[in-house]
Amino acid sequence: MNEMYEKMGISEKVLKFSETVLEGLKERFDEADRIAEYNQLKVLKAMQDNNVSEACMYGSTGYGYNDIGRDTLEKVYASVFNTESALVRSQITCGTHALSVALSAILRPGDELLAPAGKPYDTLEGIIGIKEAKGSLAEFGISYCQVDLLSDGSFDYENIKKAIKPETKMVTIQRSKGYQTRPTFSVEQIGELISFIKGIRSDIICMVDNCYGEFVETIEPGDVGADMVVGSLIKNPGGGLAPIGGYICGREELVELCAYRLTTPGLGKEVGASLNVNTSLYQGLFLAPTVTSGALKGAMFAAAVYEKLGFRCVPNATEPRYDIIQSVVFGKPEGLIAFCKGIQKAAPVDSFVTPEPWPMPGYHSDVIMAAGNFIQGASIELSADGPLEDPYAAYFQGGLTWYHAKFGIMMSLQSLYDEKIIEL
Ligand SMILES: *Cc1c(COP(=O)(O)O)cnc(C)c1O
């Protein structure tokens, strides 16, 4: 084994250090395995209960009428996420699109959207109109109200109550911290928030942005009263095999509205050919619990490694985890850059290229990104990025297998060691 790691460019020092750190993670890894085992059975049961058959693996073309594979997959998703119905489509281009469809399907002029747990993900700013953008909900006369978290990261129930007005139609709650500094919410916490809101007005539609959270716990937002659960197939639930797509699970009437928004009023779910993606979406969902647990172990390993070296990690090495994102605060640009270079070197695709910081649209500083992916931009695959600004934090996620995630972290360590940023 040591020889193999040496051939892969890992020095003995890095190897030893990594193995020592790993010894302390056994219990947490066991817990991740138990969650994966439970979720594997959950997915399997959903497939069996919905009679997934060989015919489901074939796709459709043209209008896509009577696409049994697509329609059955939607039933499987509804079972897994414990909702009445689901829209799972390759025509949903990404997670942002899924969220946009969900919001614009439900909200009407004069309605208000409430974010009771702080500002949502960056890409939603333009959709909602927090930031001026053509075609935003604001342009259609839909208003927005936000209640920030309290300084200890908990929900500000008092102000949430005050923020609920007669025109409040819908609430958006983001499970994962995304690229913010707040902690990720557990499904249980989300459930408490939903109960509180429903206790004030039971007709308010509660949507959860589930990105990066799927299969990290044994329960999902649909189990705790969410009316809509939304996410991307090139993150956790696609298991790395889904080449494209997004999902919206939820109450029947709401999912129907989403289908009318995604395709057209009247046509809804009836159209939308699956082409050749059905098998990948099924197989990806089937593998998703295992893939997610591998990514989760990678995140735990990264936190333990970098915390031991004195870097601040969010979440830290011992906190409970509710998503697969790990941030490591390097405090200086050299650290962030060396980390990303190491991750890139560990990739199965494009391992020979060197990531460089560049002025990415939408960011106010240069951003460095490392990804050597099979599926463009799929962040369930091993990837890392971070803006070149104080505190020079790297955001790391994914890994289709635990062994690859482990190797990626070791390569990042080697890279920092070679650049003399760390001592071992
Ligand atoms: C990734 C992500 C999104 C958006 O997904 P894209 O597929 O990148 O458009 C939305 N919300 C959260 C919390 C995310 O992590």
For residue 258, give the H/E element and its range: helix 252-262
Residue 361 alpha carbon to ligand 1 centre in Å:
16
The one-letter amino acid at 212: Y
Residues 190 and 115 in one domain: yes
How many helices (H) does the chain have, and how many strands (E)? 12, 12
Residues 318 and 396 occupy one common structural domain: yes
Residues 109 and 9 in one domain: no
Band (pLDDT 50/70/90 cuts) for residue 360 is confident
Strand partners, 247: 88, 231
Q: Is the pLDDT of residue 302 over 80?
A: yes
Q: What is the CA radius of gyration of the chain?
A: 22
Mutation test residue for ligand 1: of 235, 244, 360, 376, the one with most atoms within 8 Å of CB: 235
> Of 245, 275, 305, which residue sits at a domain end?
275
205 lines ligand 1 (CB under 6 A): no
Mutation to probe ligand 1, out of 89, 93, 96 (largest number of atoms < 8 A from CB) = 96
**Domain ranges, residue 119:** 61-275
Claim to verify: residue 111 and residue 147 sit in the same structural domain: yes
- Segment 158-193, tens digit of pLDDT: 999 999 999 999 999 999 988 777 889 999 999 999
Domain containing 200 — which CATH number? 3.40.640.10
**Residue 1 alpha carbon to ligand 1 centre in Å:** 37
Give the total number of structural domains in the chain: 2
Q: Give the mean model confidence (pLDDT) for residues 396-405.
A: 97
Q: How far is the CA of 95 from the centre of ligand 1 (A)?
A: 5
Cα 237 from Cα 53, distance rounded (Å): 20
- Are residue 36 and residue 66 in the same domain, yes or no? no
306 and 398 share one domain: yes
Residues 274-287: tens digit of each pLDDT: 999 999 999 999 99
Averaged pLDDT score across all residues of the chain: 96
Q: Specify if 47 maps to a domain.
A: no
Asked if pLDDT for residue 149 goes beyond 80, the answer is: yes
Claim to verify: residue 28 and residue 88 sit in the same structural domain: no
Distance 66 CA to ligand 1 centre (A): 30
Q: Tell me the angle at which helices 278-308 and 402-418 cross, rounded to the nearest 10 degrees.
A: 40
Same domain membership, residue 384 and residue 321: yes
Q: Are residues 27 and 68 in the same domain?
A: no
Which uninterrupted H or E stretch holds 206? strand 205-209
Residue where a domain stops, chosen among 275, 298, 314: 275
Q: Could you tell me what percent of the chain has a pLDDT over 90?
A: 96
- 89, containing H or E segment: strand 85-89
What per-residue confidence (pLDDT) applies to 394?
96
382 part of a folded domain: yes
Averaged pLDDT, 54-71: 97
Percent of the chain with pLDDT over 70: 100
Residues 102 and 248 in one domain: yes
Indicate if 219 and 85 belong to the same structural domain. yes
**Is residue 368 domain-resident?**
yes
Q: Strand order of the sheet with strand 367-371? A: 312-314, 326-329, 393-397, 383-387, 367-371
Picking from 251, 275, 299, the residue at the C-terminal end of a domain is 275
Predicted local distance difference test score (pLDDT) of residue 364:
74
Assess if residue 196 is contained within a domain.
Answer: yes
Q: What number of residues does the chain have?
A: 424
Q: What is the CATH number of the domain that holds 356?
A: 3.90.1150.60
Same domain for 103 and 212, yes or no, is: yes
Residue with CA at minimum distance from ligand 1 atom 12: 211
Q: How far is the CA of 162 from the centre of ligand 1 (A)?
A: 29
Is residue 55 in a domain? no
Residue-level pLDDT at 362 = 64
At 241-271, the pLDDT tens digits run: 999 999 999 999 999 999 999 999 999 999 9
Give the atom of ligand 1 at the shortest distance from the alpha carbon of 325. Answer: 15
Amino acid at 326: Q
Measured by CA distance, the residue closest to atom 2 of ligand 1 is 211
